Amino acid sequence: MGLDRVCAVADKLQLNPKFPIITVAGTNGKGSVCAMLSQIYVQSGYRVGCYTSPHLNCYNERVSVNLQPISDDDLCTAFAAVEAARGDVSLTYFEMGTLAAMWHFCHKNLAICSLDIVILEVGLGGRLDAVNGFEPTCSIVTAIDLDHTEYLGETREKIGFEKSGVFRANKLAICGDENPPQSLLDYASKIGANLQLINRDFQVKKTVQGWQYSAHEVQLQLPNLGLAGDFQRNNAACAVHAVQYLNQILPTLHTNIHTALRVVKLKGRFQQIHTSPQIIVDVAHNPQAAKSLAQNLQSTACAGKTLAVFGMLADKDIEGVICAVSSDIDAWFVANVHSPRSAKVSELQKIILKHTKKSPVQLFVEVSAALDSACKNASKNDRIIVFGSFYTVADAIASRFNSLRD
């Protein structure tokens, strides 16, 4: 792992972005922050490029300009440019995709109208991630938890160090983790980053009509968010803090921020995809995200039972996720996901039964079958929550789309 290959090919492609870049890292919340930043700047009238991962239904979702996914033709053109430039340099899947996205942002859009800002979501870690080959104007690290431990380390301190690698000397470095690892604090201090911490340099306060962001002498009264969950206020505060910092080069109005945060949506984040029965999907796949999912379930009214369609990858903290939500689930419909890394349904069942003796567990070969069964078993007052992996959610969305089309 390293940035040498990405930087070498970027030089051949003449990727020298003139637009400001906001790089977003973190275990949970980085996709939400990217969505909020994109919406704020679009509402403010700017041309905004955004690169995120993973996708749910099609790869094009990863690369967007003004919230619109890249076309097939433009995507193929970008990949062809990278392929031609790389020569004998070997690139990973994510490195290839990152370079293609940046080529699109730098070259394709230059002929039309240059972008005003680009938002880049880190794929894995930060320090050695392909996104980190491009210099940010501002960096954000959201909440930090144990995930991808085989690559990033088995403690929050090790993971925090990897994620802090997106910080830069003398540039704004925002951290939205309420208890940031000491390794992150130490790295920011060592390189001389302008570190801004939630609850120290900027604050979040819930109000009757929404919430309040405050930093120094600035106070903004903001609405309830378009994304569900109290934890999303911390993500929103990180986005707002970055926008306030960049206000001299990209002026934004309070009304634009207000509207953006009220309307912002993001696929797979406590997203309702069907009614009668109510089906909610959530990509929660680590304990911290699962705890947030449990909070959303507890704070959202449901007159009946909660049925879970569940599938995970074997290399995740399965027990931590199940433990976080088991008390909120009345019945489990457990399935394999379409990945070689899929956890065996028998193993998932074993862990579920370890934490709950009252909730029945049914096993299925694939998510679509599990979801169909859950729908047949649900009464009009019940709800179905699909979670455990991006793969699980993607399969569920595709399944509902196909059934409605048929």
- In terms of Cβ atoms closer than 10 Å to its own Cβ (0-12, 13-18, 19+), residue 196 is buried
Mean pLDDT, the chain, rounded, equals 92
Each domain of the chain, given as residue ranges in start order, spans 4-263, 271-405
Peptide bond into 20 cis (omega under 30): no
Give the Cβ contact number of residue 168 at 10 Å: 20
pLDDT at 112 over 60: no
Tens-place pLDDT, residues 291-334: 999 999 998 888 899 999 999 999 899 999 999 999 999 999 99
Domain 271-405 classification at class level: alpha beta
Pairing relationship of beta strands 210-215 and 203-206 according to DSSP bridges: antiparallel
Q: Over 60: is that where the pLDDT of 404 sits?
A: no
Q: How far apart are CA 77 and CA 61, in angstroms?
A: 16
Q: Which among 74, 22, 13 has a CA at the least distance from the CA of 242?
A: 22
Q: Mind listing the pLDDT tens digit for each residue in 201-224?
A: 999 999 988 999 999 889 999 999
Is the pLDDT at 228 greater than 90, yes or no?
no
Q: What is the pLDDT of residues 243-294, one digit of tens each?
A: 999 999 999 999 999 999 999 999 999 999 888 889 999 999 999 899 999 9
pLDDT reading at 406 higher than 50 = no
Indicate whether 36 pLDDT > 60: yes
Q: Average the pLDDT over 5-24 and give the result.
A: 95
Given a cut of 60, whether residue 239 has pLDDT beyond it is yes
In the chain, pLDDT over 70 holds for what percent of residues? 96
DSSP string, 245-309: HGGGTS---HHHHHHHHHH---TTSSEEEETTTEEEEE---SHHHHHHHHHHHHHS--SS-EEEE
pLDDT, residue 401, reads 58
pLDDT for the residue 110? 58
- 314 within 8 A of 344, measured Cβ to Cβ: yes
233's tokens:
């206020």
User: Model's pTM, two decimal places?
Assistant: 0.91
Domain 4-263: CATH architecture, name and number where available? 3-Layer(aba) Sandwich (3.40)
